[in-house]
Amino acid sequence: MAKTELPLTSGDVESEAKRHEFDVKITPKPFVSLASAAGDVCPQAAPLVPTSPLMAELDEEYATEGFKARAINALSGAVQIPTQMWDDLEPPGQDPRWEIFSDMHAYLAKTFPLVHSTLRKTEVNIYALVYHWQGTDHSLKPMLLTAHQDVVPVEPVTLDQWIQPPFSGYYDGSEWIWGRGSCDDKPGLISTMLSIEKLLEKGFRPKRSIVLAYGIDEERSGVSGASAISEFLLNTYGEDAFSIIVDEGGHYTVRGDTIMSNPAVAEKGKLNAKIELSAPGGHSSVPPRHPTIGMLARMITELEANPHTPHLNRSSTYYSQLQCQAQHDPVFSGHFKKLIKDSIASDTALAQLEEELKSTDRMFGPLAGTTQAVDIIHGGVKSNALPENAYIIVNHRIDTMSSVATVKAHVAGTIGPIAHAFNLSVDAFGEQYGDLKKGSAFGHLEMVDAYGTELEPAPVTPTFGSGPYELLAGTIISSLGTSPRSDIPKKAFLAPTLSTDTKWYWKLTKHIFRYGHVNSGDSYNGAHTVNEGESKNDQTTLLGI
């Protein structure tokens, strides 16, 4: 749980930010303060507002219909480029499906000419992009803003289910920008590019250097993109060379008359467990009692019947998020708020809180524990031939308080006894399970890391009292508190949460924030599914409008 401390004053924030090499100036602007009392477990940052006259000029220009149309059109054009990412791609340069990223590069160069004529651009592993905008003070650590160019594929069988074609980038003229990538993550890519393009148009030059990094295969864990970007950045800048990293992740949510902003500061681990069964085949007219697919089906049933059990842990980021909500969230009932506060010192209250969350909040399991989902099943090539081989892939997102080894042990302990009952030998992630040996059993079951991408939970980013966090928090509070959007409240609080997918950047800084500054209610149907669509309000909010 976050430490209890006195709330930071404006002077404290400025001093703390400078200690972390942040040049921050604080100017009061109209907003609703949620400043905390002494003993607060969730202190809120003071709003941070640039003092430059340029800010007022930008605010005025951003509010024009012409600029809003520019932002919408920029996103629409990016969505029209189908930068789909498949798990089976060969490395860049060896598979023609990568070539679509050249079209994206050409589009970015045409749409943002000043970015491409002013910033130093590096193409990493052919298609990943890194841009360096040199600041005036070489002694300050640069900041890193990241996004990704790729999107998940569109299944052809779903094409007739889309309201608008998935790569049309269609804007309906009033609300929605349609298409794959309109939510994930082309708004992050386009908003950072457009923001810097506009600053360059105004002749602005930052004091602190800014680095942009755009991956190419985030949707398959960044094995070709973010990994190569990380290597380039480490070789160019060194370890712990960046003051702050902001990547995609958390968002903000309207909670009654208040906005809750959730920058992610922790990251779950991951394991894609491939469970592969080999056994004798033959003609399907004379099947064994349990063919390979039948045995795998029984194992899936056992996994489903024995999920990883989520638990509240006072040391977890999720528990800290609950404490923040208990203090600032008007939607939480008085009973719930009291229970959360009491749980700090009472084990009885903690257990009661856990039970109530299990029964009332479908997000309790994903936030408080390890999840498992069978995402791929494969076996058989002919309807009258028994398959000698079949496999499943089970995706696990590992709780921040757990580990890869714990998950592997759970999978082996759940499936192993079933395999032995079918007279199968078992190799559980490189270790023999039980006494049955391969060759003497009816068949063999092997459990492995499917793609070599297993990942331990990430180090937790410092929050309350940390200069980089206070900079981000103060900027979010100021942005939301002064937004001209009439459909959202003007008071806001931050509740740090957890997310995924920044593993390649862990060595670059301790201060990694996964945050998109978009309203969770402004997507039409979410990401990774049919009818992905993003509200025009979110595209403009990302630009601070």
CA angle 223, 227, 230 (to 5 degrees): 170
What CA–CA distance (Å, rounded) separates 251 from 320?
17
Amino acid identity, position 372: Q
Is 231 annotated as belonging to a binding site? no
| Active site amino acids | 150, 218
- The half-sphere exposure of 120 on its side-chain side, counting CA atoms within 13 A, is 8
Judged on CB neighbours under 10 Å (0-12, 13-18, 19+), 484 is exposed
CA-wise closest residue to 145 among 244, 222, 229: 244
Q: Could you tell me the two tokens for 294?
A: 């039948």
Which residues pair with residue 148 across a beta bridge? 215
Is 90 annotated as belonging to a binding site? no
Is 184 annotated as belonging to a binding site? yes
3-state secondary structure 261-288: ECCEEEECEEEEEEEEEECCCEECCCCC
CA-wise closest residue to 416 among 325, 299, 318: 299
Is 16 annotated as belonging to a binding site? no
Q: What is the DSSP letter of 424?
A: E
Cβ burial 257-276 (10 Å sphere, 16+ → b, else e): ebbbbbbbbbbbbbbbbbbb
3 state DSSP class of 84: strand
CA-wise closest residue to 366 among 451, 291, 308, 283: 308
Is 247 annotated as belonging to a binding site? yes
User: Which residue do the tokens 């939510």 mark?
Assistant: 183
What CA–CA distance (Å, rounded) separates 161 from 154?
11
* Start-to-end CA span in the chain (Å): 34
Cite the annotated binding site for Zn(2+) by residue number: 148, 184, 219, 247, 528
Annotated binding site: 148, 184, 219, 247, 528
